[in-house]
């Protein structure tokens, strides 16, 4: 999914007010009689999820059923109600000579992230260059060098630790974020990011169960999310990264002012 679509999905999860979708006989009957309503709802929220979970499956099942039906008078297939309309549509297309490449459907489509990687490494190297140049410039001025180093540690580490605490993370995680952020912000590697380290530390102290995974997907309020261990770990990783990033850009502005 694109970043915009991820934000939209998250927004919908956090702002669901509407209908009570408790699973019951009436809801099941409505889903069987009017499945298009629910698939359209999914498509509106996330076209990518709809394409992968509904449309691509429709095409795949239609192709398999079409091949299985050759030489037979009839076959019986049991499929989900939400797939009926799509499978029938694609079966008609196959009958009219339009083919479906199953191999393409089984391949994982990967976006070209070359530009993103170049941009990420470029920004990281620029940050490192400015920081090192500031140290070089201040080398003959011990007081200035001390101030630059102090501010880098204080703001990158302090704001990263603050992010952990705002996410209701453990104190040990906040301490490790404080110690690692000044170093990891100078290393242009995603796996060395302070958020990754903080998330792994927090994970050590929080047991993630099946209940947390299901609860994250079915949460109906922010309160439920904040009480979910899996969400807490993800939030710790995210806010510690954001805090460190704010510290980096603040310090860069100050350093450029010194130069």
Length of the chain: 259
* Domain-terminating residue out of 55, 87, 106: 106
Tens of pLDDT along 221-259?
777 777 888 888 999 999 999 999 999 888 877 776 665
* Domain-terminating residue out of 84, 106, 128: 106
Within this chain, do residues 20 and 50 fall inside the same structural domain, yes or no?
Answer: yes
Span 41-48, average pLDDT = 83
Within this chain, do residues 158 and 190 fall inside the same structural domain, yes or no?
Answer: yes
Does residue 207 surpass a pLDDT of 90?
no
Within this chain, do residues 140 and 253 fall inside the same structural domain, yes or no?
Answer: yes
Q: Is-contact 163 177, C-beta < 8 A?
A: yes
From the number of C-beta atoms within 10 Å of its C-beta (0-12, 13-18, 19+), residue 184 rates as buried
Within 10 A of 27 (CB to CB), how many other CB atoms are there?
14
Within this chain, do residues 157 and 122 fall inside the same structural domain, yes or no?
Answer: yes
Number of independent structural domains in the chain: 2
Within this chain, do residues 121 and 242 fall inside the same structural domain, yes or no?
Answer: yes
The predicted pLDDT at position 66 comes to: 92
Burial 206-236 (b: 16+ CB within 10 A, else e): beeeeebeebbeebeeeeebeebbbbbbbbb
* Domain-terminating residue out of 68, 85, 106: 106
Higher pLDDT, 26 or 64: 64
Within this chain, do residues 154 and 178 fall inside the same structural domain, yes or no?
Answer: yes
Tens of pLDDT along 170-189?
999 999 999 999 888 877 66
Is the entire prediction scored with pTM above 0.85? no
Mean pLDDT of the chain: 81
Can you give the residue range of the structural domain that contains 34?
3-106
Within this chain, do residues 123 and 184 fall inside the same structural domain, yes or no?
Answer: yes
CA geometry: angle at 66 spanning 61 and 71, to 5°?
A: 145
Within this chain, do residues 126 and 218 fall inside the same structural domain, yes or no?
Answer: yes
* Distance between CA atoms of residues 19 and 38, nearest Å: 12
Within this chain, do residues 244 and 120 fall inside the same structural domain, yes or no?
Answer: yes
Q: In angstroms, what is the C-alpha Rg of the chain?
A: 26
């Amino acid at each position: 999914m694109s970043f915009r679509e991820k934000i939209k999905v998250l927004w919908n999860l956090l702002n669901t007010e509407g209908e009570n979708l408790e699973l019951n006989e009436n809801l099941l009957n409505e889903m069987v009689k009017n499945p298009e309503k629910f698939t359209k709802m999914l498509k509106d929220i996330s076209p990518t999820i709809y394409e992968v979970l509904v449309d691509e499956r429709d095409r795949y099942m239609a192709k398999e059923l079409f091949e299985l039906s050759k030489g037979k008078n009839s076959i019986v297939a049991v499929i989900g109600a939400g797939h009926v309309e799509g499978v029938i549509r694609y079966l008609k297309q196959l009958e009219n000579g339009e083919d479906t490449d199953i191999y393409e459907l089984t391949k994982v489509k990967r976006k070209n992230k070359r530009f993103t990687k170049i941009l990420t490494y470029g920004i990281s190297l620029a940050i490192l260059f400015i920081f090192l140049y500031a140290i070089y410039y201040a080398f003959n001025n011990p007081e200035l060098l001390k101030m630059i180093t102090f501010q880098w540690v204080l703001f990158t580490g302090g704001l990263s630790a603050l992010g952990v605490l705002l996410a209701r993370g453990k104190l040990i995680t906040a301490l490790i974020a404080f110690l690692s952020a000044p170093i990891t912000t100078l290393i242009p590697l995603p796996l060395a990011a302070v958020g990754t380290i903080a998330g792994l530390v927090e994970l050590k102290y929080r047991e993630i169960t099946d209940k947390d995974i299901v609860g994250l997907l079915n949460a109906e309020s922010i309160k439920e999310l904040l009480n979910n261990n899996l969400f807490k770990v993800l939030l710790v990783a995210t806010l510690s990264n954001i805090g460190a990033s704010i510290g980096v850009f603040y310090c860069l502005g100050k350093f450029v002012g010194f130069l």
